[in-house]
Chain A
Amino acid sequence: MNFTSKIALLSLVTLFAGCASRPPRYDYSQFRTEGPRSILVVPVINKSIDVNAPDYFLATIATPLAERGYYVFPINMVKSVLADDGLSDANLVHAGDPHRLGELFGTDAVMYISIERWDAKYVVLATTVTVELNYTLKSAHTGQVLWKNHQIVAYQPQQNNGGGIAGLVANAIAAAITKAAPDYMPLARQANSGAINVKGMGLPAGPYDSLFGKDSADY
């Protein structure tokens, strides 16, 4: 075996190992102790300047959690009922006792999400849209943190390099359109998927997944 093939083989092995064991792994011991079946998503903290971000984000969070196998409380109904109970202030709810929410809703776990960034930055002709989120799942029984994740997803609309002045104009138009109505939804979905569905860091399979309680090799 010559030197080059050795290097090639080594890098291939590293590539495979990269998925199986190398990435940092979340400590699931508390999660495993409790094995939550249901998740209540409470109002989202907004650190961005886009006042609509929390509501828009809420429209993306039920499906990935339910698809992972959890019972997810009805997002919009929970939001309204909490508001009726005087609990629409996200900062207040996040600072409050998850045990109290457990009593009100009968949930096993509470998902606290905060929007760190939800913005579009314009540098001359290029636009970058960024969504950054923090996820914390707490037990409604013990108040312990069961799981945490952080995601930052940025999108730069494709640059048109082909057309001289025409290309520049096209870029300017694309940037203007994005500025008028940047579409954050695909980024929010991607962030959710990156938080929830990645082995070793995401959420273990929920009770409606056949791997429930059997995926400890990966989580």
Chain B
Amino acid sequence: MSLRTLILSPLILLVAAGCVTQHQRYDWGSYDPSLYGYYKNPADAGELSASLKAVIDAASANKAVVPPGIYAEYGYLQLQQGKNSAAIDLFKQEESHWPESKVFMDRMIKVASTPVGGTTPRSAAP
């Protein structure tokens, strides 16, 4: 490899890298692979639930921001298990951290607060 090639190749890499922006804003833990695992095998809800909780715990331990949607995803799994008050708390957390979620979370808090016969969550279509 000539000197010129040595100088040029990092330069080219630098130019190419300049075209793409990438950074890690949040700690997602194993959210992606767990969601994939859950879709592959829906019986794996427990694993998805554990990984969502781990993301929340890690963020609070590191005083970091919980990524958007994680409180809500975790809350929804709680709701599916009939743990409505835990679900409501998590929906409120999502809403207070991410004001963009207000309309949706208010609707889901209403769903979780309405006593229904079974424990299956039903969304309230207006």
Contacts and interface: CB of A to CB of B under 8 A. Distances in A.
A19 B18 contact: yes
A63 B33 CA distance: 12
Contacts of B46: none
B123 A69 contact: no
A197 B35 contact: no
B100 to A, nearest CB: 4
B98 to A, nearest CB: 5
| Chain B interface, DSSP helix/strand/loop, else mixed | helix
Given A58-B39, A59-B35, A199-B19, A76 B76 contact: yes
A52 interface: yes
A79 to B, nearest CB: 9
Interface residues of A, number: 43
Contacts of B61: none
Query: In which size bucket is the chain B interface?
Result: 35 or more
Interface in A176-219: 185, 193, 197-199, 202, 208-209
B122 A198 contact: no
A72 to B, nearest CB: 5
A202 B20 CA distance: 9
Interface string A102-114: 0111111000000
B25 A67 contact: yes
Given A67-B23, A81-B123, A197-B22, A74 B100 contact: no
B76 A77 contact: yes
Contact of B21 (A75, A76, A77, A197): A197
A31 interface: no
B25 A73 contact: no
B73 A19 contact: no
A3 interface: no
A151 interface: no
B35 A76 contact: yes
Contacts of A106: 100-104
A66 B123 contact: no
Interface string B77-106: 000100000000000001000101111100
Contacts of A16: 15
Contacts of B98: 71
- Top 9 closest pairs, chain A to chain B, by CB: A106-B103, A74-B69, A71-B100, A55-B39, A38-B100, A59-B36, A77-B76, A74-B72, A59-B35
Interface of A: 15-16, 18-19, 37-38, 52, 55-56, 58-60, 62-63, 66-67, 69-77, 80-81, 84-85, 103-108, 185, 193, 197-199, 202, 208-209
11 contacts: A62-B68, A66-B69, A71-B68, A80-B76, A81-B108, A85-B125, A105-B104, A107-B100, A185-B36, A198-B19, A199-B21
